[in-house]
A and B are shown apart, each in its own frame.
Chain A
Amino acid sequence: MRVIVVTSGKGGVGKTTTSAAFASGLAMRGFKTAVIDFDVGLRNLDLIMGCERRVVYDIINVINDEAKLTQALIKDKHCESENLYVLPASQTRDKNALTESGVEFVLSELEHMGFDYAVCDSPAGIEHGAVMALTFADEAIITTNPEVSSVRDSDRILGILQSKSRRALNGSEPVKEHLLLTRYSPKRVEEGEMITYKDVQELLRIPLLGVIPESESVLQASNQGIPTIHLKGSDVAEAYTDMVARFLGEKLPLRFVTYEKPGFIKRLLGGK
């Protein structure tokens, strides 16, 4: 089983949206996937996944042996493949209940159950919850907005991955880092108002996994509790589908990164 943390340092950049879409995408490709909310006290993955009314037990219950992992896992209803499960965070408990040995136990149980991937949705910040989410990661998706504070915080979280993850501490192969740019607006980039994805990549110096365009459909999706990747025909769904394919090793060109000025560009390049 591979453990993938979706992290960013900064809040509000799209970690949960990404965790939901990415985990769903892996499941749609046939992998048995669990997506775990590490934001103890402020859980939201359940809402984004649209399973908030089916939460009975959470990760802390499992760690404290108050429930079996199989009781706490919620089967996702959006993927026809029926191989995606959500493990919610506790809403009320003390954050310190999320212990390192507890997380290790949950992950090893998932592995025994035959899961291919565990996607860890990190809370914002660099405190305990965020560190717990990245501790056991094999790979990390650094979710970043093309904006100064987000880029800086992403660099800080890279530093933490390189010093506090289990892989860093025991000197094994480092955590594989991927950059995911979210809320990207090609139009604003074109107008010189927004940093280009190339610049972000040059600043952070980690491989680019994808660029997700800023889109109204993200709100439409969260309103309904449907992971964005299921919004057929939307740019965001296609960008996330591409990102999952690249994660699985496919070479795909970036889409939705250039602004096409209506009319003129079409004439110049002969249409798309």
Chain B
Amino acid sequence: MGTLLSRLFGEKKLFGEKKRTSEIAVQRLGILIAHERNNRTTRPDYMPELQRELLTVIAKYIEIDLDKIDIQLEKQGDCDVLKVDIILPEGQDAGQ
């Protein structure tokens, strides 16, 4: 990413050090865009419905917060993985 001048002079400025904030921006955008694209391309139409039905089933057995469920379809190598994250309320013992 370094340009000719910064390679010649190093990252340091003559008058004090200046943070190269553009690198932080690129890093943040990289993570954000990857995440948003993943949601866009791998979230099929049935996902909201699936989320709702899963929630109804789970709610029959455990008291859960409607917002505390997150389902995602992820690619891991050659496999598609359906990841379901459900946060149980405090005091609920998962073993029971």
Q: With A and B bound together, what is the CA distance between A39 and B85 in angstroms?
A: 42
Question: Are B5's CB and A194's CB within 8 A?
Answer: no
Tell me the nearest residue of chain A to B23, going by C-beta.
Answer: A192
**Which B residues, 18 to 36, have Cβ-Cβ distances below 8 Å to chain A?**
18-23, 25-26, 28-30, 32-33, 36
Taking CB atoms and an 8 Å cut-off, the chain A residues in 228-264 that contact chain B are 258-259, 261
> Which of B22, B26, B28, B29 meets A193, CB within 8 Å?
B22
Contact B5 A193 (CB under 8 A): no
State the CA gap A47–B36 with chains docked (Å): 36
* A162 → chain B closest CB, angstroms: 8
Check if A203 is an interface residue, CB within 8 A of chain B. yes
Contact code string A139-177 (vs B, CB < 8 Å = 1, else 0):
000000001100110011001000000000000000000
Known: A159-B40, A199-B26. A152 touches B18 (CB 8 A): no
Q: Which residues of B contact A80 (CB under 8 A)?
A: none
Q: Mark B33-72, 1 if CB is under 8 A from A, else 0.
A: 1001100100000000000000000000000000000000
Q: Which residues of A sit under 8 angstroms from B14, Cβ to Cβ?
A: none
Q: With A195-B25, A196-B22, A261-B5 in contact, is A156–B30 under 8 Å at CB? A: no
Contact indicator B36/A155 (Cβ below 8 Å): yes
Which residues of A have CB within 8 Å of B20? 192-193
Query: Which residue of chain A lies nearest to B19 when distances are taken between CB atoms in the complex?
Result: A192
Closest residue to A204 on the B side, CB-wise?
A: B33
Distance of B36 from chain A, by nearest CB (Å): 7
Which of A193, A259, A261 counts the most chain B CB atoms within 10 A?
A193
- Knowing A152-B33, A155-B33, A203-B26, say if A190 contacts B21 (CB, 8 Å): no
What residues of A have a CB within 8 angstroms of the CB of B6 in the complex? 190, 192
Q: Which B residues touch A199, using CB under 8 A?
A: 1, 22, 26
Interface size class of A (residues with CB under 8 A): 20 to 34
* A148 and B25 within 8 A (CB): yes
Given A155-B36, A155-B37, A199-B1, verify A191-B26 contact (CB < 8 Å): no
Residues of A within 8 A of B33 (CB): 151-152, 155, 203-204
State A193–B40 Cα separation when bound (angstroms): 30
Report the minimal beta-carbon distance from A168 to chain B, rounded to whole angstroms. Answer: 12
Contact of A194 among B1, B3, B22 (CB under 8 A): B22
Q: Known contacts A190-B3, A199-B1; is A152 also within 8 Å of B32 by CB?
A: yes
Q: Does B30 lie within 8 Å of A192, measured CB to CB?
A: no
Known A-B contacts A148-B25, A196-B22, A203-B29; A190 and B5 likewise in contact (beta carbons under 8 Å): yes
Known: A152-B36, A192-B21, A199-B26. 10 other contacts (CB 8 A): A152-B32, A155-B37, A189-B3, A190-B5, A199-B22, A203-B26, A203-B33, A204-B33, A258-B3, A261-B5
Report 17 cross-chain contacts, Cβ distance below 8 Å, ordered by A residue: A148-B29, A151-B33, A155-B37, A156-B36, A159-B37, A159-B40, A190-B3, A190-B5, A192-B6, A192-B11, A192-B19, A192-B20, A194-B22, A195-B25, A195-B26, A199-B26, A203-B30
